[in-house]
Structure 1
Amino acid sequence: MPLALLVPGGTGQLGRELAGLAGPDLAVTAPGSAELDLTETTSVVAAVAAFADAARAAGSTPVVVNAAAYTAVDKAESDQARAYAVNADGPRVLAAVCSSRNLPLIHVSTDYVFPGDATAPYAEDAPTGPKSVYGATKLAGERAVLSSGARAWVVRTAWVYGAHGANFVKTMARLESQRDSLSVVDDQLGSPTWTYDLAVGLVELARKVTSDSPPAAHVLHAAGGGEVTWCGFARGVFEELGADPGRVSACTTADYPTPAARPAYSVLSGKAWADAGLTPLRPWREALAAAFAADRAAYLPSA
Structure 2
Amino acid sequence: MRFDVYGPLVVSVLLAVAGPLTGRYVAPAAAARVLAAAAVLTAGATTWSLVLLGAALLGDAPPVVREARENGRTPTAPVPESIALAACLALVVVAVRVHRAVRDERRTRRALRRLCAGHPADTELIVASSAVPRAFAIPGRPGRILVTSAMLGALRPEERRVLLAHERAHLAHRHGLLVTAATLAAAADPLLWPVRSAVVYLVERWADEQAAATVGDRRTAARALARAALTAGPAAPGHALYFGDRAVTRRITALRAGPPPSLWSAALAVVALSTLPPLLAADATGDLFGLLTGRPH
Q: TM-score, normalised by structure 2?
A: 0.23
| Greater RCO structure (CA 8 Å; 6+ sep) | 2
Higher-strand-fraction structure: 1
TM-score (normalizing by structure 1): 0.23
Please identify the structure whose Cα radius of gyration is greater.
2
